[in-house]
């Protein structure tokens, strides 16, 4: 198997941090991970779920995110790109035919830093991707409100919370809407 990024470099068996078996590229340091092997590894290593990646909060994890189209190192089919989370712009590549994912340099460390080590197989389903899009849309909308209300934004949110928690919140909202 050849590296989907470097094209002509042969992949070698490696173990990612935590002992996850993969096929790694000695040049770009990317890795091909079988989701079947990942699931088996996760079943045999349940401590991975509770282990927190030991890094300083907000420490930068050096990653590479290859933007161009990649082809599977096993079947040469086109790989689809999937977002990891709203906290990271990186996208993982998946071959749906072989159930193989390509992790660019540093992406496994990023997944660990985000405490998503046990969620690798979830990244590739519609509900995970929809949740990311919904969160991004909500964040963009909030940024627009912040820009519109400027200095009043915090006070408006304080009032909103006060109304939500008021014992007559429904009546307050009706009164405000009436006026």
Q: Is the pLDDT of residue 65 over 80?
A: no
Last residue of a domain, one of 105, 122, 139: 122
Q: Which of 122, 147, 164 is the last residue of a domain?
A: 122
Residues 108, 171 share a domain: no
Considering the domain architecture, whether residues 110 and 168 belong to the same structural domain is answered as: no
Helices (H), 150-179: 153-165, 169-178
Same domain, 97 and 73: yes
96 with 112, same domain? yes
Tokens representing 25 are: 């590229």
Predicted local confidence at residue 41, as pLDDT: 95
Paired tokens of 130 = 């929809």
Q: Is residue 3 situated within a structural domain?
A: no
Do the domain assignments include residue 4? no
Position 47 scores a pLDDT of 79
Share of the chain above pLDDT 90, in %: 82
Please give the mean pLDDT across all residues of the chain: 90
Q: Of 118, 79, 82, which Cα lies nearest the Cα of 98?
A: 79
What is the per-residue pLDDT for 128?
Answer: 96
Mean pLDDT computed over 115-141? 94
Domain span at 41: 12-122
Which pLDDT belongs to residue 62? Answer: 75
Q: Are residues 109 and 49 in the same domain?
A: yes
CB–CB of 108/20 below 8 Å?
A: yes
Predicted confidence (pLDDT) per residue in 138-153, tens digit: 999 999 999 999 999 9
Give the model's confidence band at 63: pLDDT under 50 very low, under 70 low, under 90 confident, else very high.
Answer: confident
Separation between Cα atoms, residue 114 and residue 111, nearest integer Å: 5
Q: Assign 58 a pLDDT band (cuts: 50, 70, 90).
A: very low
Q: Does 39 share its domain with 100? A: yes
Per-position b or e across 14-45, b if 16+ CB within 10 A of its CB:
eebeeebebbbbeebebbbbbbeebeebbeee
pLDDT at 55 over 50: no
Structure confidence by residue, pLDDT tens digits, 108-123: 999 999 999 999 999 9
Average pLDDT over residues 51-70: 67
**Mean pLDDT score, 10-18:** 95
In a domain, 28, yes or no: yes
Q: Can you give the pTM of this predicted structure?
A: 0.77
Boundary of a domain, candidates 98, 122, 146: 122
pLDDT at 99 over 70: yes
Does residue 5 sit within a domain? no
Q: Are residues 68 and 141 in the same domain?
A: no
Total count of domains within the chain: 2
58 and 111 fall within a common domain: yes
Same domain, 70 and 19: yes
């Amino acid at each position: 198997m050849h590296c989907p990024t470097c094209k002509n470099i042969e992949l070698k068996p490696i173990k990612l941090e935590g002992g996850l078996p993969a096929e790694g590229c000695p040049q770009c340091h990317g890795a091909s991970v079988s989701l079947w092997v990942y699931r088996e590894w996760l079943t045999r290593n349940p401590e991975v779920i509770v282990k927190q990646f030991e890094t300083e909060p907000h420490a930068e994890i050096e990653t590479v995110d290859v933007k161009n189209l990649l082809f599977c190192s096993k079947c040469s089919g086109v790989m689809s790109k999937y977002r990891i989370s709203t906290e990271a712009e990186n996208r993982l590549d998946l071959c749906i035919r072989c159930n193989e994912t390509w992790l660019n340099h540093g992406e496994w460390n990023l997944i660990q830093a985000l405490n998503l080590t046990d969620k690798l197989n979830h990244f590739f389903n519609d509900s995970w991707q929809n949740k990311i899009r919904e969160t991004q849309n909500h964040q963009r909308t909030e940024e627009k409100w912040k820009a519109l209300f400027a200095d009043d934004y915090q006070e408006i949110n304080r009032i909103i919370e006060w109304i939500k928690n008021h014992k007559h919140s429904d009546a307050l909202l009706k009164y405000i809407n009436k006026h």
